[in-house]
Structure 1
Amino acid sequence: MAKDYNLFVPESKEILSNAGETVINRRQFLRYGFNAATGVLAASLGVLGFAAILLPPGGGSAGDLSVKFWAKGREDTAWYGAKHLQSMTKEDFVAEAANSNTGTSGASGVWNGVPVVVTYVEDSKWQGSPTDNNKARFQMMEGYDESGKYIGHFEDMVAMDERIYPSDDLIMVFGRCTHLCCIPGWQLVSNNYTDDSWTPGGTDDGGTKLFCICHSSRFDTTALEMNTNRNRSNGATFTYAGVRKAGGPAPVGLPLIPIELNNGVVEGITDYVDWLTYCD
């Protein structure tokens, strides 16, 4: 049975301006994969207003690999609202996680012109402790594609490139749902899936999930797996490292984008951008 949830609707209906940003027009909005299921929000905010809340501007500063907070329309509700378009630092997430029962925190962001979600997990503190203590930690798991075929283990990906494993207790994933390329987020809604609770195993139990408000797909950013997806432009299948789909209509989980810290600032690594092509 579907669970009820409350959407955090921002008070402002301000449309994205072009003060150094890219204006999203109707054609671009539709191309980003939103469909009729988002009509309720679009009707109340306007198509451009809704897009401005969730979609970062295209492009990006050349040579700037830092990840920026994206709190458009949520400046008064998100814990990082006052940091909109500021570079993310590990310190930001550690401070927020101190308010969490599970030792986690998360934020929507923009990197290299695409939407991302960064999650902090106190893995280094709780890895190896009993899993029933409600303290989140990363889990390297086996991956199965949408047909149930075994693909491989996350450890296989790490063996090829150790940078793929979430470094410094931080993980960044591409913020486009594998269902219809909508924009899942961290605590965009309040429900059982996004509660401050954690259950091991990568299942749909417990909270601390990324939730897609379009069709209710859920993703567990602590459950790390190897999987496959298809390039939207040419149909070619590719293997990627990512996080597990916990529930909903999405066929597979979200790909991760490896990160590194530069004087405490979160920066993305560009070596695996091909993993993002299912929404080209």
Structure 2
Amino acid sequence: MPGLRRTSESRVGRFASPREYGRYVPQVETSKHRDELSERAKSIRRRAMFMPGDGEELDDRSATQTPVVPSKTWTRRDWIKAGAMAGAAAGVGTLVGAEVLAPLLAPPIQPPGTIREDFVYTKFPEPQWWDGLVGDPVHVGDFQVWQGATAVWRGLFRNGMYVDGTGLPVLVVRVIRDDTYFRAPDPAPYPIPSGYNLYYDDPARDLRIVVLLDRCTHLCCYPGWHIAYDQLRPPRDYSTYGETPPTWTAYNQDPVWCVCHDSQYDPLLLTADLNPKNGVPFVGAKIVHGPGTFNLPIVPVRPVRDILYGGMPDPRWYDYC
């Protein structure tokens, strides 16, 4: 799979600078519309899943969207106008009524925004298999086993267009559906929203998908999933950290890897942990290689007609950057 560009010889365990590999910042192609999906993207969808019509998809999505109405913020010009009105009125011995100031107090005329709870594909700096899906919602049938992609969750959209810099970056990874090594805690002690689960699981289609916050617990860089060239490998001295990650030891697949400083997280091992910034317990992909010191938080999920949605457990799970 194409990945980060390597500009010099690399060795296992060497720290990689963001300048060398190109720091990944999640982006959505804001000019892309639903009817502009490439034929490649459509064929991926139709291989193994039901794809609802546009009207049905929008209805499902609107059920879990959160409208956002921007509040009015007074500018320096507004205050000057109000002061001028008050001064002029005082000069003639009159009062400034609510009717006069109403235009200034009214909220600005602009379309409200919508926070989307579904995951939306984002663009990676280097070519990736999901390029034809950028800007589109993530469907559970999009992935082959061990495929993953970057997306944004709870991004703000206005007039159907993504507002840059909003939402949380996530990694969506389809892992093998094999309970021999997969581990997840009892969700009961955690504030998981009703109808959501720690991961997506569909026995009938042999699907299992894990969604993780895409911010490293070391220095908040952006980890990746199988995006580096074959010549660039993560360090595999897991015994140094007392770990034997099954993603690698049993299936020969690299864990989630932050190329900046080599932190790694195993999406097959969802375990309990504490956020050291606030002491809040959470569930995350287990840290199996430093220098990161705690798990990579998961995002609870549920499908709506095969579109994957996230549910906010406790915002403090993700409050460490």
TM-score band, normalised by the shorter chain? 0.5 to 0.7
Tell me the residue number matched to 1:40. Answer: 19
Paired residues of 1:56 and 1:115 also in contact (CA < 8 A) = no
Q: Match of 1:183, as an amino acid?
A: Y
Q: Determine what percentage of the aligned residue pairs are the same residue.
A: 22
**CA distance, structure 2, for counterparts of residue 10 and residue 71 of structure 1:** 19
Q: Match of 2:25, as an amino acid?
A: L
Q: Compared with structure 1, are the counterparts of its residues 62 and 202 closer, same or farther at alpha carbon in structure 2 (3 Å cutoff)? A: same
Paired residues of 2:223 and 2:258 also in contact (CA < 8 A) = yes
Tell me the residue number matched to 1:223. Answer: 269
Tell me the residue number matched to 2:200. Answer: 167
Unaligned 5+ segments in structure 2 are 8-14, 29-67, 69-112, 155-166, 202-207, 237-242
Secondary structure at 1:215 match in 2:
coil
Which is strand-richer, 1 or 2? 1
The alignment status of 1:115 with 2:179, answered yes or no, reads: no
Q: Compared with structure 1, are the counterparts of its residues 183 and 111 closer, same or farther at alpha carbon in structure 2 (3 Å cutoff)? A: same
Tell me the residue number matched to 1:244. Answer: 286
String of CA shifts for 1:219-247, please: whole Å, max 9, x gaps: 1011010001133xxxx211101110111
**CA distance, structure 1, for counterparts of residue 215 and residue 318 of structure 2:** 9
Tell me the residue number matched to 2:119. Answer: 67
Alignment of 1:118-157 (within 5 A): 118-123=172-177, 126-127=178-179, 131=180, 138-140=182-184, 154-155=185-186, 157=187
Q: Match of 1:80, as an amino acid?
A: W
Tell me the residue number matched to 1:19. Answer: none
Alignment of 1:75-90 (within 5 A): 76=127, 78-90=128-140
**CA distance, structure 2, for counterparts of residue 10 and residue 262 of structure 1:** 39
Tell me the residue number matched to 2:259. Answer: 213
String of CA shifts for 1:41-64, please: whole Å, max 9, x gaps: 37xxxxxxx45x43347xx96242
Which of 216, 224, 245 in structure 2 is aligned with 1:202?
245
Which of 25, 39, 64 in structure 2 is aligned with 1:54?
25
Computed over aligned residues only, the root mean square deviation of the Cα atoms, in angstroms, reads 3.2
Secondary structure at 2:280 match in 1:
strand
The alignment status of 1:269 with 2:311, answered yes or no, reads: yes
Paired residues of 1:72 and 1:84 also in contact (CA < 8 A) = no
Q: Compared with structure 1, are the counterparts of its residues 194 and 107 closer, same or farther at alpha carbon in structure 2 (3 Å cutoff)? A: farther
Q: Match of 1:70, as an amino acid?
A: T
Alignment of 1:20-39 (within 5 A): 38=17
Secondary structure at 1:62 match in 2:
strand
Paired residues of 1:243 and 1:253 also in contact (CA < 8 A) = yes
Unaligned 5+ segments in structure 1 are 1-5, 12-35, 43-49, 98-103, 132-136, 141-153
Q: Match of 1:167, as an amino acid?
A: Y
**Bigger relative contact order (CA 8 A; separation at least 6):** 2
Secondary structure at 2:316 match in 1:
helix
String of CA shifts for 1:56-112, please: whole Å, max 9, x gaps: 47xx962421101122322x3x1112211211101101xx22xxxxxx221111112
Count of aligned pairs: 198
Secondary structure at 2:318 match in 1:
helix
Paired residues of 1:71 and 1:108 also in contact (CA < 8 A) = yes
Q: Compared with structure 1, are the counterparts of its residues 79 and 37 closer, same or farther at alpha carbon in structure 2 (3 Å cutoff)? A: closer
Paired residues of 2:297 and 2:318 also in contact (CA < 8 A) = yes
- If the length of structure 1 is used for normalisation, what is the TM-score? 0.61
Q: Match of 2:114, as an amino acid?
A: A
- CA offset at residue 121 of structure 1? 2.0
Secondary structure at 1:245 match in 2:
strand
- If the length of structure 2 is used for normalisation, what is the TM-score? 0.54
Tell me the residue number matched to 2:5. Answer: 9
